[in-house]
Amino acid sequence: MPTSYSASSSAQAVREALASRLRELRLDAGLTARALAALAGWHEAKTSRIEHAKKQPSEGDLAAWARACGVPGLLPELIAELRAVDSAWLDWRRAEKTGLTHLNVAVLELYERTKLYRSYCQDVIPGLLQTAGYTTATLAAIRDGRNVPVDDVAEAVAERMARQHILYEGNHRFVFVLEAAALTYRRGGREVMIGQLGYLLEAMSLPSVSLAVIPPDAERAGRWPVENFYIFDDVQANVELVSGFLTITQPREIAMYAETFARLHEVAVLGRPARALIKAAMDALE
């Protein structure tokens, strides 16, 4: 999957899936676009625009559509699909307008219910394996670089650290793949980085954790670095892009990320070779 992967294309795919579903309901009910519009109480053009994903329906529109097609029982499911459209893409400015803490609180339940978590990072240590110092440096840089209007870095760090209990408790499995470069990009200064790398070595001994590192001289064979992404079981993938945060729930797209993760994992090293790469990064700092 290329690093230029379009967030808007995925969000549009979710909109189009809902539009197709609504059109199928109309056809199954034996209604023309004009007939549905008459039953729903709007102009025929609105029906066409909704079915071609040019207009996003409201929850009220969905209720009228379901009644017209004789399937009112499907309304909760249709509303869930509509809300998936709204949550598919979240730009950072909108996401961070009230600070950084609520973003970490919002995903806590997702992390706790996930049994298999897969993470690929090319330029940062993933949050579940970060020390407080590393997280503080990272979130402070985000606050300053994106002009977050609320300074709640300390609270956000506390939330991020509290989340890490799932590494030690419950029936979870975590598989991390890091590019070697993520071990060398400095965040928080020399001492913070040494502590962070040391913590990675400790985390590798946890029975729930598998940590693999892609060496800088690995034969990539088309397995190029891509955007940082995180897969929660087989139900959701989250992708961090420059302009915002993408939530993927379409099975086909989740499968693409799972396949990409597997291919990157193939060129990574585990165990002693991975430890050697981490220790080499520590030696360079010391």
Residues 46 and 115 placed together within one structural domain of the fold:
no
Residues 165 and 233 placed together within one structural domain of the fold:
yes
Return the percentage of the chain with pLDDT > 90, whole number.
78
Q: What is the mean pLDDT of residues 226-236?
A: 94
CA-CA distance, 167 to 115, in Å (whole number)? 11
The tens digit of pLDDT for each residue in 127-139 reads 999 999 999 999 9
Residues 81 and 207 placed together within one structural domain of the fold:
no
> Domain ends where: 63, 87, 111?
87
Residues 109 and 207 placed together within one structural domain of the fold:
yes
Q: Residue 11 has what pLDDT?
A: 67
> Domain ends where: 70, 87, 104?
87
CA-CA distance, 233 to 113, in Å (whole number)? 9
CA-CA distance, 3 to 176, in Å (whole number)? 19
pLDDT at 141 > cutoff 70: yes
**What domain range is 74 assigned to?**
7-87
Q: Residue 1 has what pLDDT?
A: 38
CA-CA distance, 271 to 168, in Å (whole number)? 20
CATH number, domain containing residue 65: 1.10.260.40
Residues 198 and 262 placed together within one structural domain of the fold:
yes
Residue 2 lies in a domain: no
Residues 35 and 150 placed together within one structural domain of the fold:
no
Number of folded domains in the chain? 2
Q: What is the mean pLDDT of residues 162-177?
A: 96
Q: What is the mean pLDDT of residues 270-285?
A: 97
Residue 1 lies in a domain: no
Residues 77 and 107 placed together within one structural domain of the fold:
no
Residue 161 lies in a domain: yes
Residues 265 and 150 placed together within one structural domain of the fold:
yes
Give the SS3 label for residue 138. helix
Residues 186 and 237 placed together within one structural domain of the fold:
yes
Q: Residue 5 has what pLDDT?
A: 42
Instruction: Give the pairing of strands 116-121 and 173-179.
Output: parallel
CA-CA distance, 208 to 277, in Å (whole number)? 21
CA angle 271, 273, 274 (to 5 degrees): 65
Q: 282, 267, 274: which is closest to 226 by C-alpha?
A: 267
H-helix or E-strand containing 282? helix 271-285
Residue 24 lies in a domain: yes
CA distances from 168 to 14, 115, 277 (A): 36, 13, 25
Residue 151 lies in a domain: yes
Residues 194 and 266 placed together within one structural domain of the fold:
yes
User: How confident is the prediction for the chain on average, in pLDDT?
Assistant: 92
> Domain ends where: 87, 110, 144?
87
Two structure tokens written together for 200: 């990675």
Residue 127 lies in a domain: yes
CATH number, domain containing residue 238: 3.30.870.10
Q: Residue 40 has what pLDDT?
A: 96
Residues 257 and 158 placed together within one structural domain of the fold:
yes
Query: From the CB of residue 139, how many other CB atoms can be counted at a distance below 10 Å?
Result: 24
Q: Residue 10 has what pLDDT?
A: 59
pLDDT at 77 > cutoff 90: no
DSSP 180: G
H-helix or E-strand containing 53? none
pLDDT at 3 > cutoff 50: no
Residues 168 and 275 placed together within one structural domain of the fold:
yes
